[in-house]
């Protein structure tokens, strides 16, 4: 099932499966900004990653003496969300724990995903509510794929701040201690597929809280992610999209203990506490 919201500038469509943004169009030009989801390259559009981001070592974690298994990026993207509120320019989606989720993630929770259109921006808000009687560990992240028409190398990324762009490499889907630094040209990161030969670029410590995608040096869209401590950027060879991924958390490190409360990058909230975060996509 698809829910549509709109305002004078934008129309967005959200699939109830995963509460996934599957379309973002300019009403002025009818241009589509979200990747179409062609499975030849990648059959997703903008999945929400919860209750983990990335991959766990051996796809498992421990709490006390119990072991649990979670697939890459968790389960929220595969669940059907309930539409709990809808206005012309706003929609609120929700999932809560079930007997099945408790088998792999033993916490009572509610996850709300709130989409709001404002001028030429879409604001995407995550609310994680701990309904358990104990502390709850989790990660949450975005994974929007932006459609790039034409030659991939015509595009570039400009980060908000002038900083060294140091990223961690992945090894077998886990975060390694190896880092590399992206070279900039005229303060821009020129896109080419060789950047992604070793999978995603994982940034742990960026100062920038926004970035802009440009085509032929002309701004196309901005992703603003103030408060998100981590960022992933990813595409596949020859794929006509780029994913800009604000995260709270990332894959396990190779030397992880497996205890999820000790996991690098994990968020922990107290019983009955609400975690709230928001990022936005603005079209030019």
Indicate the pTM of the whole model. Answer: 0.97
The first and second tokens of residue 67, run together, are 């072991």
Of the chain, the end-to-end C-alpha distance in Å amounts to: 29
Instruction: Assess contact for 91 and 5: CB atoms under 8 A.
Output: yes
The first and second tokens of residue 14, run together, are 């959200």
Could you tell me what percent of the chain has a pLDDT over 70? 100
Question: ∠ at Cα 245 (244, 250), nearest 5°?
Answer: 145
- Mean pLDDT across the chain: 97
SS3 96: strand
Return the pLDDT at 169. Answer: 93
The first and second tokens of residue 251, run together, are 């894959």
Instruction: Assess contact for 72 and 54: CB atoms under 8 A.
Output: yes
Return the pLDDT at 69. Answer: 97
Instruction: Assess contact for 6 and 28: CB atoms under 8 A.
Output: no
Return the pLDDT at 124. Answer: 98
DSSP label at 131?
-
Q: Break the chain into its structural domains and give their ranges.
A: 2-283
244-279 pLDDT per residue, tens: 999 999 999 999 999 999 999 999 999 999 999 999
The DSSP result for 27-56, as a single string, is TTT--B-B----TTT-S-SS-EEBS-SS--
2-283 maps to CATH 2.70.98.10: yes
Residue 124: which of 28, 49, 203 has the closest Cα?
Answer: 49
Residue 47: how many other CB atoms lie within 10 Å: 24
Average pLDDT along the chain, 284 residues, taken 10 residues at a time: 97 98 97 96 97 97 96 97 98 98 98 98 98 97 98 98 95 94 94 95 96 97 98 97 98 95 97 98 97
Q: How far apart are CA 224 and CA 227, in angstroms?
A: 10
Q: Which residues contact 229 (CB under 8 A, 6 or more apart)?
A: 204, 247, 248, 265
């Amino acid at each position: 099932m698809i829910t549509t919201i709109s305002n004078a500038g934008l129309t967005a469509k959200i699939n109830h499966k995963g509460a996934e943004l599957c379309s973002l169009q300019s009403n002025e030009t009818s241009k589509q900004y979200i990747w179409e989801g062609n499975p030849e390259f990648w059959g997703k559009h903008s999945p929400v990653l919860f209750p983990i981001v990335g991959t766990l070592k051996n796809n498992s974690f421990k709490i006390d003496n119990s072991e649990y298994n979670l697939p890459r990026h968790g389960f929220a993207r595969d669940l059907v969300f309930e539409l709990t509120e809808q206005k012309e320019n706003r929609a609120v989606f929700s999932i809560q724990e079930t007997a099945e989720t408790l088998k792999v993630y033993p916490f009572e929770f509610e996850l709300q995903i709130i989409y709001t259109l404002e001028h030429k921006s879409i604001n995407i808000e995550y609310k994680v509510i701990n309904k358990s009687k104990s502390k709850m560990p989790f990660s949450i992240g975005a994974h929007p794929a932006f459609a790039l028409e034409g030659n991939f190398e015509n595009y570039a990324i400009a980060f908000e701040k002038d900083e060294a762009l140091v990223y961690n490499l992945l090894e077998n889907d886990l975060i390694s201690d190896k880092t590399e630094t992206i070279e900039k040209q005229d303060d821009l990161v020129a896109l080419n597929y060789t950047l992604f030969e070793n999978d995603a670029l994982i940034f742990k410590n960026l100062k920038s809280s926004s970035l802009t995608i440009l085509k032929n040096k002309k701004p196309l869209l901005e992703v603003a992610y103030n408060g998100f401590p981590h960022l992933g950027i990813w595409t596949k060879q020859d794929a006509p999209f780029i994913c800009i991924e604000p995260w709270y958390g990332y894959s396990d490190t190779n030397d992880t203990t497996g205890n999820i409360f000790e996991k690098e990058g994990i968020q922990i909230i107290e019983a009955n506490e609400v975690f709230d975060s928001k990022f936005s996509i603005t079209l030019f």
